[in-house]
Structure 1
Amino acid sequence: MPVITKIAVQKKNQSRYNIFLDHVYAFAVDEDILIKYQLTKGKELSEQDLTRVQHEDEIRKAYHSAIQFLSYRMRSALEIRAHLQKKEWPDSIIDVVLQELTIQKYIDDLEFAKAYVRTYANSGKKGPLVLRRELANKGVPEIKINEALAEYNKEKQVADAIRLGNKYAAQNKKLSERMLKQKLEYTLSTKGFPPEIILAAMDGINYEKDESLEWETLKAEAEKMKRRYKKYTGYEYRRRMQQALFRKGFTIELINRFMDEDAEEG
């Protein structure tokens, strides 16, 4: 049987050791493996010993890779599995690593889901429907998703939707009231807020305009349209202007008022 003739600590990683068998480098092991199997100079190793030691060292390397991946933020079990698969670790080793991480509480899909919901709900950037979809994509079981989302109650969802809506409304003052309302509802929907939350939030969002402000908004938009349709005259010009302004969300009453006043000035 081969004999350990030299053990040398690695220069770049002091927790790993190079093992030499019969004066030839054979493999490297983690410090924990070195101690567990009492690998010392002069010890003989059978083929079975070599297989066991090297297999367990592969597990330790995969484990350390997972720990490093976890050092940036919490991860779901599925995310860690995908990470290790990209590193080309076999499933047999990944299963052992995930089991050990779970025992040590490094992996807890419920706590991960709760932290994920708290992070994005507190920022107000994602509604419950988006959070549910993203957590499902990360492999979190539905029962744990439901428990995590229970902390994101309807009152907070409405408050977050109102805050997002008011921010959007302030950035899009040039839109007509009707168009702004439509875009607000669409934006909140894409953020993951359900219809009943959006409906409740709209009452608290400052998107409505008084007639004078809506009129000024229409005039600014109409001036752009006039340049676009200046090659048309008469009925065709009026029709195209009316259609374009209506698509922008202005009422037919305000549109006709502008067209009549503009015709008088012309």
Structure 2
Amino acid sequence: MPVITKISQQKKNKERYNIFLDGQYAFSVEEEVLARYQLSKNKELTDMDIGEIEYEDEIRKGFNKALIYLSYRMRSEYEIIIHLREHEMGEASIEETMHKLRKYGYVNDTEFAQAFLNTQLRTSDKGPRHIGQALKEKGIAAGIMEETLAQISQEEWIERAAQVLEKVIKKNPKQSKLQIKKKGQDTLSRKGYEGAVTGQVLSAIAIERNEEEKWTAIYSQAKKAHAKYIRKYEGYEYQQRMKQALFRKGFSAEEIERAIAHLKEEDESE
């Protein structure tokens, strides 16, 4: 049987030791594994002993890597498993490492999902579909994800969605109410709000504007349409193209007529 002829402490990692068998380097182990298996010079090891020691050491290394990975923030089980695979750990060793992490309370997908939800609610304006998809990508089971999201009432999601829509209104003073509602719908959908919530918010929202703000919106959109059509069309066809384009954006006939007349005056004064 092979005999341990030398044990030396690694220079870069003082907690690991190199094991030499019959004068040749064989493997390295953590200090805890060294003590557990009472490895010492002149000790004989069977092939089974060596396999068991290397397996135990790999688990120990995996456990330490996982703790370092967890030191930056909470992780889901799936994230840790992927991290350990990237370090070329075997599946059996990963499974045992995960068992140890669960045993000592270092991983808990239910607690992770709750913490992730709380962070999203505090730092973002994302909706339930977006948050649910993010949890799914982190390997959270469907049951845990659904239970976590169910803690937030429909009323709270509606309130958050309304805040998103208010931002859209403030950022788009040069667009019509219809344009804003379309943009708001797209924004809410992109941020992960469900159709029922989006519908309630859009039907309840009030887009209040004074006369100056209304004029700013119609004039801005009319100016864009004018630049598009003035070189291609004239007379009646130009008028119809302008009216159709602005009507589709939600402006009234009165607003459209006023804007077209104003643009005509501008052109004539140039």
Check whether TM > 0.5. Answer: yes
| Residues 258 and 174 (structure 1), Cα distance of their counterparts in 2 relative to 1, 3 Å cut | closer
Partner of 1:216: 216
Q: CA deviation at 1:15?
A: 1.3
Secondary structure in structure 2 of the residue aligned to 1:73: coil
Could you say if the C-alpha distance between residues 237 and 123 of structure 1 is closer, same or farther in structure 2, counting changes exceeding 3 Å?
same
In the TM superposition, residue 49 of structure 1 has moved relative to its aligned partner by: 0.8
Query: Is 1:239 aligned with 2:240?
Result: yes
Q: CA deviation at 1:12?
A: 1.3
**2:8 partner amino acid:** A
Q: Return 247-256 or 122-131, whichever deviates more.
A: 247-256
Residue identity opposite 2:227 in structure 1: R
With over 3 angstroms needed to count, the CA separation of the structure-2 counterparts of 1:200 and 1:43, relative to structure 1, is same
> Cα offset for 1:257?
3.4
Contact 2:114/2:148 (<8 A) preserved: yes
Matched, 1:128 2:128: yes
Q: Structure 1 length as normaliser, TM-score?
A: 0.89
* Alignment-derived partner of residue 79 in structure 1: 79
CA RMSD of aligned residues (A): 2.3
Task: Name the SS of the counterpart of 1:28 in structure 2.
Answer: strand
- Aligned length in residues: 266
The answer as to whether partners of 1:2 and 1:46 remain within 8 angstroms in 2 is yes
Shift of 1:88: 2.6
Distance 1:72 1:24 in 2: 39
Q: Render the CA deviation track for 1:43-97: whole Å, top value 9, x for unaligned.
A: 1111111111112212222222222222222111122222222333222221111
Report Cα offsets for 1:181-207 as digits up to 9, x if no partner: 111122112211223323443477563
- Structure 2: distance between partners of 1:12 and 1:36: 22
Deviation of the 1:39 alpha carbon:
0.8
Deviations 1:188-239 (A, max 9, x none): 1221122332344347756343454222211122223323322221122112
CA shift in 2, pair 1:47/1:249, >3 Å = same
Alignment-mate amino acid for residue 238 of structure 1: Q
Supply the distance in 1 between the matched residues of 2:65 and 2:184 (Cα, whole angstroms). Answer: 44
Deviation of 1:263 after TM superposition, in Å, equals 4.8
CA distance in 2, matches of 1:144, 1:97: 22
Partner residue in 2 for 1:258: 259
| SS of 1:139 mapped into structure 2 | coil
Q: What aligned pairs does 1:58-69 form with structure 2 within 5 A after superposition?
A: 58-69=58-69
Give the whole-Å Cα distance in 2 for the aligned partners of 1:75 and 1:131. 16
Identical-residue share of aligned pairs (%): 41
Matched residue, 1:248 = 249
Per-residue CA deviation, residues 83-119 of structure 1 (Å, 9 max, x unaligned), is 2223332222211111111111111110011011101
Report if aligned partners of 2:222, 2:260 keep a CA contact under 8 Å in 1.
no
Structure 1: 5+ residue stretches without partners? none
Map of 2:228 onto structure 1: 228
Q: What is the match of residue 164 of structure 1?
A: 164
Deviation at 1:262, TM superposition (A): 4.5
Matches within 5 A, 1:1-266: 1-202=1-202, 207-231=207-231, 232-260=233-261, 262-263=263-264, 266=268
The Cα of 1:162 is off from its aligned counterpart by 2.3
Q: Is the 8 A contact 2:10 2:18 kept in 1?
A: yes
Kept in 2: contact 1:7–1:19 (CA 8 A)? yes
Q: How many angstroms does 1:169 deviate by?
A: 1.9
CA positional deviation for 1:143: 2.1
Counterpart contact for 1:62–1:89, Cα < 8 Å: yes
The one-letter code of the counterpart of 2:81 is R
CA distance 1:29–1:206, change in 2 (3 Å)? farther
CA gap of 1:209–1:195, structure 2 versus 1, over 3 A, is farther
Please tell me the residue identity of whatever aligns with 1:245: L
Judging changes above 3 Å, is the alpha-carbon distance between structure 1 residues 14 and 251 closer, same or farther for their aligned structure 2 residues? farther
